[in-house]
Chain A
């Protein structure tokens, strides 16, 4: 259950970007500059509200999670509140996740049957998110300083100017230390990430599509994470996204869960 609580520190923050061009230098500094620009443009949305459908596909089997998501960006960090609507037996269950700027996570859960709010422990970054093929690492915007970068080449992406950047984690405990990023350099939006193990094996791919312009931000309306070994995948789809809806810190207090 606690896994659900992290929902989208980045389902919110990491996918929202807008754009203008950059100048280029050597491969390292150009790669980092592109990623910094993506990161810079992912902040400042304030608050948002949206519906989210998660489809987990494994062979012939499909599992669906539906939830209502509220997010708040503040000086102290990001807060996300999720209300589950599906599966049916979990309807009304709420999760509140607070990610402080220093990286510390706080999480609470509200169970309608008990009508009680309880703090739960923070998830490990490599844990599966909601039983899906996303991990908490995938759902949290990584700090730019946590990687080294290398610009590989410029390449057209879906008819738009773009670049491919390699990033390598400075944390040797990371499951996928090497990643290749496909970035549209018109809007500075991520279009694809390929994940490699420390042995260099390409294990997973994340595709980001159906970008929607909401206010001054761009939102990936659809994200697909594919496990290459068995072709199992998870698809995240946003709906009814609204930013600047007037949510405040009080809406993200644990005592507000269930109301």
Chain B
């Protein structure tokens, strides 16, 4: 079945003629080799092949957006992922924009641990924190006014977080089931965004089944992905001050009966056009059982970008235990259509201080060859 879907999807991608419209994202083929060390869930090297493409064009008085990818686990075809990130028809009428199809919304400001971004499921393969966003059937309506931009979105048949990689084990050793299908606990939300001088402000409300990766344990040694019931109010603020941009976002959530307040606040500094330095602090009112242990850590990061080389690193530090999670990535672009990436994810500290139900990911090395077309 999955092979049939892959074949159809490759055919769809092959028919995209980017020169006729705008590319919605880069068209590419990517070959990955991912090495999980002996201290991760499994000591194994996994080869992946990924094909991704995007296209945007005018149609029927509106526009069509298409982007998607196939991530193929060469050794375990059933663990592969077909992800239509976006296949939407967009139509404007006066101050209103309509959107229907398969897609997602990306609210919030923090890329790794946004407290506001609760409606977008991700696919986990080798990195529990930065998986690809998954498209889901949606209906969207946006209204533009002098008061700001209002966006309403409903996911009537939502998708669950996908765990296709070798990370199906938690820090306390439990094996994680991820057998949830589509359509469980629909979710929707409202967001109002406005610019006030150098400050962007947004207020949001989400109601339904949360799509952030949550793991629950019902018996020793076993755990499963769950979709908690969520009612959440969120706020986002970002402001530019010279070469610094300050960002803050927070949420107040009622999740399966538990109330949680979260905030993430940070700053990006651009001392040079090619250099970015970041600091960010997360805080939560709860001890969490989410898949990420990074929620209330301090994050320090930097990115150096030249014409051919991009080097970025992030370190998350737990101020209580001193545990550290490192994400280091280098990208070399020797030609306009070729890139080589190497990413190292590693960890240091006291394992007993990590949240027991967070996905275990101690040492992972990824090497990738990308070809754009």
Residues of A within 8 A of B (CB): 1-3, 63-64, 68, 83, 85-92, 104, 106-107, 112-116, 118-124, 127-128, 131, 250, 253-255, 258-259
Question: What are the interface flags for B259-277 relative to A under an 8 Å C-beta threshold, 1 for contact and 0 otherwise?
Answer: 0000000001010010000
B372 at the interface (CB under 8 A from A): yes
Q: Are B372 and A88 neighbours in the complex by a CB distance under 8 Å? A: yes
B305 at the interface (CB under 8 A from A): yes
**Which residues on the B side are within 8 Å of A63 (C-beta)?**
307, 336
* Residues of B95-132 whose CB lies within 8 A of A: 95, 97, 99, 104, 106, 108-109, 111
**Which residues on the B side are within 8 Å of A250 (C-beta)?**
95, 144
B373 at the interface (CB under 8 A from A): yes
**Which residues on the B side are within 8 Å of A118 (C-beta)?**
109, 238, 245, 247
B54 at the interface (CB under 8 A from A): yes
Closest B residue, CB atoms, query A258: B24
Please tell me which one of the listed residues B23, B90, B106, B337 contacts residue A116 in the complex, with CB atoms under 8 A apart.
B106
**Which residues on the A side are within 8 Å of B245 (C-beta)?**
118-121
B168 at the interface (CB under 8 A from A): no
In whole Å, how far is B108's beta carbon from the nearest beta carbon of chain A? 7
Please tell me which one of the listed residues A64, A106, A119, A128 contacts residue B273 in the complex, with CB atoms under 8 A apart.
A128
Closest B residue, CB atoms, query A108: B200
For the complex of A and B, list the 4 residue pairs with the smallest distance between their C-beta atoms, beginning with the closest. A88-B372, A91-B23, A112-B25, A115-B106
Q: Are A116 and B109 neighbours in the complex by a CB distance under 8 Å? A: yes
Residues of B within 8 A of A (CB): 18, 22-28, 54, 63, 65, 67, 85, 90, 95, 97, 99, 104, 106, 108-109, 111, 133, 142, 144, 149, 151, 193, 195, 198, 200, 238-240, 242-245, 247, 268, 270, 273, 305, 307, 333, 336-337, 339, 370, 372-373
Q: Which of A2, A118, A119 has the most CB of B within 10 A?
A: A119
Q: Are A255 and B373 neighbours in the complex by a CB distance under 8 Å? A: no
Please tell me which one of the listed residues B23, B151, B273 contacts residue A85 in the complex, with CB atoms under 8 A apart.
B23
23 residue pairs bridging A and B, Cβ less than 8 Å apart = A3-B273, A85-B23, A86-B336, A88-B27, A88-B373, A89-B372, A91-B27, A91-B372, A92-B23, A92-B25, A106-B195, A112-B25, A112-B54, A115-B85, A115-B133, A116-B111, A118-B109, A119-B238, A119-B240, A121-B242, A122-B243, A250-B95, A250-B144
In whole Å, how far is B212's beta carbon from the nearest beta carbon of chain A? 15
Closest B residue, CB atoms, query A123: B273
Q: Are A92 and B273 neighbours in the complex by a CB distance under 8 Å? A: no
**Which residues on the A side are within 8 Å of B90 (C-beta)?**
259
In whole Å, how far is A3's beta carbon from the nearest beta carbon of chain B? 5
**Which residues on the B side are within 8 Å of A90 (C-beta)?**
26
**Which residues on the A side are within 8 Å of B95 (C-beta)?**
250
Closest B residue, CB atoms, query A88: B372
Q: Are B24 and A116 neighbours in the complex by a CB distance under 8 Å? A: no
**Which residues on the B side are within 8 Å of A87 (C-beta)?**
333, 336, 372
- In whole angstroms, what is the CA distance A124 to B239 when docked? 17
- In whole angstroms, what is the CA distance A258 to B151 when docked? 15
Given A89-B372, A254-B195: 9 more A-B contacts, CB < 8 Å: A91-B26, A106-B198, A114-B106, A115-B106, A116-B109, A118-B245, A121-B242, A131-B307, A255-B151
**Which residues on the B side are within 8 Å of A131 (C-beta)?**
307
In whole Å, how far is B333's beta carbon from the nearest beta carbon of chain A? 7
**Which residues on the A side are within 8 Å of B142 (C-beta)?**
255
Q: Are B336 and A64 neighbours in the complex by a CB distance under 8 Å? A: yes
Given contacts A85-B22, A116-B106, are A121 and B243 in contact (CB under 8 A)? yes
Q: Are A92 and B24 neighbours in the complex by a CB distance under 8 Å? A: yes
Given contacts A112-B67, A121-B240, are A89 and B370 in contact (CB under 8 A)? yes
- In whole angstroms, what is the CA distance A180 to B307 when docked? 32
